[in-house]
């Protein structure tokens, strides 16, 4: 897929808003919808000077237009849609062009037609997530494109790498609302939990160790994936920490169960601190 981005035209004087008339940004009659909860209140133009540009994007896949729409909203770029045509004031032309290039890079075909290919459904993905996916795959030198249905296509030989990136992005998206912890604060928490698990694996009735595992384990369970950690590995770690805290608070837990989980969590922490 190689969509053309420069098929825009300048509107006639008769197409300009009347003097003093506000132009409200909306996606009515378009297959592109704003994110839920986005307000048109901040997307209003009252500048009647200059010209309006129209970008004909009817050849794009709907997912590509949706990606562009969400990037425009995220960057607070004033715009509107008429069907599949993007309208923007000339004052934001540079910003619009930059985002068009970003989507172009995300959808630029780099695949070898002689190699076996696989496709990943992108239904439910936001434009920002798709842009991030394309950026991550590009950084990993994985040839890819988004097809006419908006699905990700890559070489079969890169399937595992693509899956890892997809899983990481989805896992991080699921972290929304969790505590962000980085640097020394994160290291202190992991070190404290390591010390507590080391005590409990030796003696399940060690009061200091039990208190530390419960306190730090519950907190770690609510920490979002930090920078530099693979999301999948972090989820396993924080779930194990939470499970150990739950186990120690349970009246039905056996000493063997506690010792085993504490030892495994201690070893996992030892590898990262």
- The neighbouring-strand residues paired with 179 are 223
Question: For residues 21 and 180, what is the distance between their CA atoms, to the nearest angstrom?
Answer: 44
Within the chain, where are the H helices?
62-74, 93-107, 127-139, 159-173, 183-202, 207-221, 231-249, 255-270
The per-residue pLDDT for range 104-113, each reduced to its tens digit, is 776 665 788 8
Q: Please, what sign has the CA dihedral across residues 3, 11, 94, 136?
A: negative
- Alpha helix (H) residue ranges in 40-142: 62-74, 93-107, 127-139
pLDDT at 109: 53
Percent of the chain with pLDDT over 90: 51
At the topology level, CATH places domain 117-173 in Alpha-Beta Plaits (3.30.70)
Q: What percent of the chain has pLDDT over 70?
A: 81
> Would you place residue 47 in the very low, low, confident or very high pLDDT band (cuts 50, 70, 90)?
low
Give the predicted TM-score (pTM) of the model.
0.51
Average pLDDT, the chain: 82
pLDDT at residue 206 in the model: 97
The residues pairing with 85 across neighbouring beta strands, listed in sequence order, are 56, 82
In the chain, where the domains are located: 8-107, 117-173, 183-270
Instruction: Read off the pLDDT of each residue in 76-104 and give the average, rounded to a whole number.
Output: 90
CA distances 114 to 110, 118, 156, 261, Å, are 12, 13, 11, 49
Q: Is 67 helix (H, G, I), strand (E, B) or coil?
A: helix
Mean pLDDT of 56-77: 86
Q: Which residues pair with 118 in a beta bridge?
A: 154
Query: For 35-44, 135-144, 182-191, which range has the lowest pLDDT when averaged over its residues?
Result: 35-44
Residue 179, φ and ψ in degrees, nearest 5: -70, 135
Name the nearest CA neighbour of 166 among 206, 208, 123: 123
C-beta of residue 176 within 8 angstroms of C-beta of residue 225: no
How far, in Å, are 179, 187, 189, 234 from residue 184 at the CA level? 15, 5, 9, 17
How crowded is the C-beta side of 88, counted as CA atoms within 13 Å? 22
Chain segment 140-151, per-residue pLDDT in tens: 778 888 888 889
Quick check: 131 and 63 in contact, CB under 8 A?
Answer: no
């Amino acid at each position: 897929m190689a969509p053309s981005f420069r098929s825009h035209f300048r509107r006639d004087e008769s197409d300009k808003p009347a003097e003093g008339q506000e132009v409200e940004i909306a996606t009515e009659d378009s297959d592109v919808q704003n994110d839920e909860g986005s307000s048109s209140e901040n997307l209003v133009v009252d500048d009647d000077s200059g010209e309006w540009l129209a970008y004909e994007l009817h050849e794009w896949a709907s997912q590509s237009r949706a990606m562009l729409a969400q990037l425009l909203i995220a960057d607070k770029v004033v715009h509107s849609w008429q069907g599949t045509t993007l309208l923007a004031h000339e004052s934001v032309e540079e910003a619009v062009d930059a985002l068009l290039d970003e989507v172009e890079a995300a959808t630029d075909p780099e695949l070898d037609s002689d190699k076996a290919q696989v496709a990943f459904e992108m239904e439910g993905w936001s434009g920002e997530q798709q842009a991030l996916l394309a950026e991550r795959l590009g950084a990993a030198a994985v040839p890819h494109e988004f097809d006419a249905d908006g699905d990700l296509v890559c070489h079969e030989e890169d399937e595992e790498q693509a899956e890892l990136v997809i899983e990481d992005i989805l896992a991080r998206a699921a972290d929304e609302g969790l505590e962000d912890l980085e640097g020394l604060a994160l290291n202190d928490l992991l070190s404290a939990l390591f010390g507590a698990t080391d005590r409990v694996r030796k003696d399940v009735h060690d009061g200091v160790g039990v208190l530390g595992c419960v306190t730090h384990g519950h907190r770690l369970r609510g920490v979002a994936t930090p920078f530099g950690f693979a999301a999948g590995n972090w989820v396993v770690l924080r779930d194990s920490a939470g499970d150990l805290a739950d186990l120690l608070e349970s009246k039905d837990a056996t000493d063997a169960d506690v010792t085993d989980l504490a030892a495994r969590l201690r070893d996992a922490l030892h590898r990262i601190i």
